[in-house]
Amino acid sequence: MIECRNITKIYSNGGVETIALGGVSFTIKDGEFVAIMGPSGSGKSTLMHILGCLDTPTSGKFLLDNRDISSMSDDQLADIRKEKLGFVFQAFNLLPRATVLRNVSLPLIYSDIPKDKREAIARTSLKNSGLDETHFYHRSNQLSGGQMQRVAIARALVNNPSLVLADEPTGNLDTKTGEIVLHTFQELNRKQKRTIILITHERYVAEHANRIITIRDGLIVEDEINISKREIKYSN
Amino acid sequence: MTASDLFEETYSALLANKTRTGLTMLGIIIGIGSVIAMVAIGQGSKGTIESNIQSLGSNLIIIMPGAQRGAGIQISAGRGSSQTLTVDDSDSIQTDIASIKAVAPELSSRYQVTAKGTNTNTQVVGTTSTYPSVRNIEIDSGIFISDQNNSSLSKVAVIGPTVRDDLFGIDVDPVGQTIRIKKIDFKIIGMTKSRGGSGFSNPDDMIFIPLSSAQRFLAGNTYVSTISVQANDQDSMTQTQADITSLLLERHHITDPILADFSILNQSDIIATASSVTDTLSLLLGAVASISLIVGGIGIMNMMLTTVTERTREIGLRKAIGAKSKDINLQFISEAIVLTFSGGVIGIIVGWLVSYAVSYFAGIATSVSINSILLAFGVSAGIGIAFGYYPARRASKLNSIEALRYE
């Protein structure tokens, strides 16, 4: 459960203040699939950083599973990210020379999971994100874009997070592969009841989610249930 | 993050770019290797010089005529050219000083020596029967000069093996042959054992004759050029030296020790002087080698900074998935340490091989000491921490948002 109460973020650079978020409030319940949509410069990235506990708001409260994140130290934030969050980035951010399994197990080394259990967890996570087992020992730079993003999704899920944040996950993919990745998110939301927040600037991508929050100039301009949810008939 | 995870991360990060890792390590290998080899050469030559000095005799005190410059007066500094010591001085040392084992006066000078058409220019030492025990000389064949030879002004000689080689050829027994010094024939009664030594005065290249004969037939006076005294033990040397000084000052009627007409040296002083020279040499060699070690360290820092920049996104990602600043710091520090440490281990092996090769091919004695290995090890680990610290700190302080966006 995510609760944002009147969150603001103001950057001051050499005396010039830039208001990135001007008071944003919303609640996301467990199991929701929400898209945060807005053009570049709208503040959606800033919001994503705060939701991802990479940054703290200038004012306002951000509660993640009833814990107040707003005033935590860097180390406390790192612990929250480790336990509760999974990230999927536009540029995948995989370790290029490491194998798929090692990439997926990476978050586990920071969360004190015994070595012998890591591979099994990583395998399960990879299967859930739909990557074929033949690729498990490939190096991640030998994979296609779609495969890499699935590895990234598996990595995001490996620590069983309460929230998955996807930042433009289809930005580096062609339309068809993008569809497949979005479908993967929909499946994870539907079957595993994962809470997923999708950050995008494209209406088309946002329409794959169940709820769309539109943000512009640091303020929420629209928060709607997506009635025309896009789904592809994707048989696997 | 456990230690084995840390090691695994470090290992795979270093192996990811083998060429760069190898070249950076090479800097440390050369640095550590040269420190080890240079210190080994320094220590080795120190050992050689010390054993050379020790081989001159044990607990030796040497008295020579001439003096250090006094206040405005210079008697004569040259050994041999100044004539202030006599056999009487030597005898009174023998009788009046308690803490000594033996005294051997000597009168030495270089002469042209001939034998059956061959000739050589060598040191001729007139001395007494105590000389072998004072100066650590052993007899290979025949006998050494006796007190009887001395009192009867015998024209007998004991030669060193080098003199034998020069005059009679290798493996010839010279005992019974005759040599001619200053147109006087001396009969050879013995030969000393080869010590293979080199150094200040090579005892292999000497001819020993009775002191009295040397004074009468060769020098034509009653002075001696050196008095060698063997003290009872190491501890009594300083006291013995002081006793001899005051005895001789009294005998020579000198009240101010600064104006003494003789100088007195003990073996520990010579060793100390030589050691200080070789220590300086070691230090110099070590210092030069350390420069390459520092350059190697800077190479590591350079590589680590490049690595941190290259892996900015990876650092951002690691932070996003829960790594704390200290985890990142530890990871990069450990990369630097592993790099220098393995470089250090290889460097020690290389340094060892180099010093072995130096003693094998160049004939210079070397000694690799545990201390220098420990030092090299410590220094390489220290360099890893010192030069890895700044890049690691830079990595850990990266802002995760900016790091993730870094192109």
Look at residue A98 and tell me if it is in a domain.
Answer: yes
Structural contact between residues B194 and B164, judged by C-beta atoms closer than 8 angstroms: no
- Chain center to CA of A113: 22
Question: Which ipTM value was assigned to this complex?
Answer: 0.91
Look at residue A231 and tell me if it is in a domain.
Answer: no
**Quick one: average pLDDT of A135-141?**
91
Q: Name the residue facing A95 among B314, B316, B401 (closest C-beta).
A: B314
Q: Name the residue facing B401 among A54, A81, A83 (closest C-beta).
A: A54
A120 or B259, which is more confident: A120
Look at residue A230 and tell me if it is in a domain.
Answer: no
User: Per the structure, how many domains does chain A have?
Assistant: 1
Tell me the percentage of chain B whose pLDDT exceeds 70. 95
pLDDT band at A185 (very low <50, low <70, confident <90, very high): very high
Structural contact between residues B222 and B86, judged by C-beta atoms closer than 8 angstroms: yes
Tell me the percentage of chain B whose pLDDT exceeds 90. 31
Size of interface A-B (CB pairs under 8 A): 67
Angle subtended at Cα B281 by Cα B280 and Cα B282, rounded to the nearest 5 degrees: 90
Of B214, B247, B59, nearest to B128 (Cα)?
Answer: B214
CATH number of the domain encompassing residue A57: 3.40.50.300
Residue B75 has pLDDT above 60, yes or no: no
Cα–Cα dist B118/A52, whole Å: 100
The pLDDT, as a whole number, for residue A209 is 94
Characterize the bridge pairing of strands B100-115 and B226-231: antiparallel
Cα–Cα dist B209/B189, whole Å: 10
Cβ under 8 Å to A: B residues 6-45: 9, 12, 16
Cβ under 8 Å to B: A residues 76-95: 78-79, 81-83, 85, 87, 89, 91, 93, 95
Domain boundaries, chain B: 3-52+275-405, 85-251
Q: In this predicted model, what pLDDT tens digit does every residue of A43-88 receive, in sequence order?
A: 998 999 999 999 999 999 999 998 998 888 989 999 999 999 999 9
Q: In this predicted model, what pLDDT tens digit does every residue of B197-237 receive, in sequence order?
A: 555 567 788 999 999 999 999 988 888 988 999 988 888 88
Cα-Cα-Cα-Cα torsion A136, A142, A145, A151, nearest 10 degrees, comes to 20
Q: Name the residue facing B321 among A49, A55, A107 (closest C-beta).
A: A107
Residue A221 has pLDDT above 90, yes or no: yes
Look at residue A229 and tell me if it is in a domain.
Answer: no
Both tokens assigned to B236: 């009594």
B51 or A169, which is more confident: A169
Taking an 8 Å cut-off on Cβ atoms, the answer to whether A97 and B5 are in contact is no
Contacts of A112 (CB under 8 A, 6+ apart): B1, B2
What average pLDDT does chain B have? Answer: 86
Nearest residue on chain A to B316, judged by CA atoms?
A: A93
The pLDDT, as a whole number, for residue B69 is 43
Structural contact between residues A32 and A211, judged by C-beta atoms closer than 8 angstroms: yes
- Interface check for A65 against chain B (CB to CB < 8 A): the answer is no
Domain that residue A23 falls in: 2-223
Nearest residue on chain B to A46, judged by CA atoms?
A: B401
Of B385, B378, B397, B394, nearest to B336 (Cα)?
Answer: B385
Q: How much is the pTM?
A: 0.72
Taking an 8 Å cut-off on Cβ atoms, the answer to whether B322 and A75 are in contact is no
Beta partners for residue A177, in sequence order? none
pLDDT band at B77 (very low <50, low <70, confident <90, very high): very low
Look at residue A228 and tell me if it is in a domain.
Answer: no
Q: A interface mutation test: which of B321, B401, B404, B406 has the most A CBs within 10 A?
A: B321
From first CA to last CA, the distance across chain A in angstroms is 32
